[in-house]
Amino acid sequence: MTEPVRLSKRMSELGLSSRREADEWIARGWVRVDGQVVSELGSKVLPGQKITVERQAAAEQSKRVTVLINKPVGFVSGQAEDGYKPAVTLIKPENRWPEDPSDEQFHPTQLRSLVPAGRLDIDSVGLLVLTQDGRIAKQLIGETTSIEKEYLVRVQYTKPGKLPDADLKKLCFGLWMDGKPLLPAKVRWQNDDQLSFTLKEGRKRQIRRMCDMVGLKVVGLKRVRIGKVKLGDLPVGQWRYLRADEQF
């Protein structure tokens, strides 16, 4: 006999919504289990039971926006800290990329519950995703995510000579952090002082710490791609909407 699980957790596992969205919809009576409305928070279901959501839920979800921003140095990804502004404060009409191909109209309600799906250090620049859609957040930062993130990293070698090939291989696989092995990464030279890192995880200050382990000092770090979505020509400090035809 399979154990019952919370309905909101099961909806998240099925990709119907985030857990928070699921709880909102359950409370509004928008969720059915085997055809019956379930409106009590904390209700449990068996894995084989059929879960459906009312049309209103899908309509509300489709109104949720996802924004791509080229984060400048000096802005934090999430909540304001130590006097630094969060990246969401850049999401205003005057900072929208004039070449944004989306027909979406900006409205202040889009700033409500617009949260970063992944972090970029205060000293790092490049592609940051802010979303109101719990499904996208789960896709990008959920525990089971396998979406690649690509970075261009300018470095200085702090020892004589140049970085040995054996240490480049270590960056690709073999380093440990916080007592756990890092997942395999793709690391290669772009030119004499710049590496390309492609990762499937994002531990705190991971690239800077990886470089430190092999004697490299990070001088600049820029995220240029998340999954299939590229930073492209988006200027620093400007933003655009994720298009309907774009998928991570």
Cα 220 from chain centroid?
20
What is Dmax (Cα atoms) for the chain?
70
In degrees, rounded to 5, the angle at the alpha carbon of residue 22 between the alpha carbons of residues 19 and 26 is 140
Backbone angles phi, psi at 25, to 5 degrees: -70, -40
Residues contacting 248, CB < 8 A, separation 6+? 136, 139, 140, 147, 226, 227, 228, 229
How buried is 105 (Cβ within 10 angstroms: 0-12 exposed, 13-18 middle, 19+ buried)?
exposed
With respect to CATH, is domain 66-144+229-241 assigned 3.30.70.580?
A: yes
Would you state the structure tokens that stand for residue 118, as one six-digit string?
A: 């992944």
Domain extent listing, the chain:
5-62, 66-144+229-241, 149-226
The residues annotated as belonging to the active site are 121
Reading the chain (248 residues) residue by residue, the pLDDT tens digits are 578 999 999 998 888 887 888 999 999 999 999 999 999 999 999 989 999 999 988 777 778 899 999 999 999 998 877 888 999 999 999 999 999 999 999 988 888 889 899 899 999 999 999 999 888 888 898 777 789 999 999 999 999 999 999 999 999 999 999 999 999 999 999 999 999 999 998 888 999 999 999 999 999 999 999 999 999 999 999 999 999 899 99
Check: CB of residue 219 under 8 Å from CB of residue 155.
yes
Backbone angles phi, psi at 11, to 5 degrees: -65, -40
How far apart are the C-alpha atoms of 9 and 32, rounded to whole Å?
Answer: 15
Residue 85: what pLDDT? 92
How far apart are the C-alpha atoms of 72 and 159, rounded to whole Å?
Answer: 30
How buried is 63 (Cβ within 10 angstroms: 0-12 exposed, 13-18 middle, 19+ buried)?
exposed
Which listed CATH number (3.30.2350.10, 3.40.50.1460, 1.10.10.10, 3.40.1050.10) goes with 149-226? 3.30.2350.10
Residue 1: what pLDDT? 56
Task: Please give the span between the terminal C-alpha atoms of the chain, in angstroms, as a whole number.
Answer: 36
With respect to CATH, is domain 5-62 assigned 2.60.34.10?
A: no
How buried is 49 (Cβ within 10 angstroms: 0-12 exposed, 13-18 middle, 19+ buried)?
middle
Residue 68: what pLDDT? 98
Check: CB of residue 90 under 8 Å from CB of residue 69.
yes
3-state secondary structure 135-171: HHHHHHHCCCCCCCEEEEEEEEECCCCCCCHHHHHHH
Q: CA torsion 134→227→235→91, rounded to 10°?
A: 0
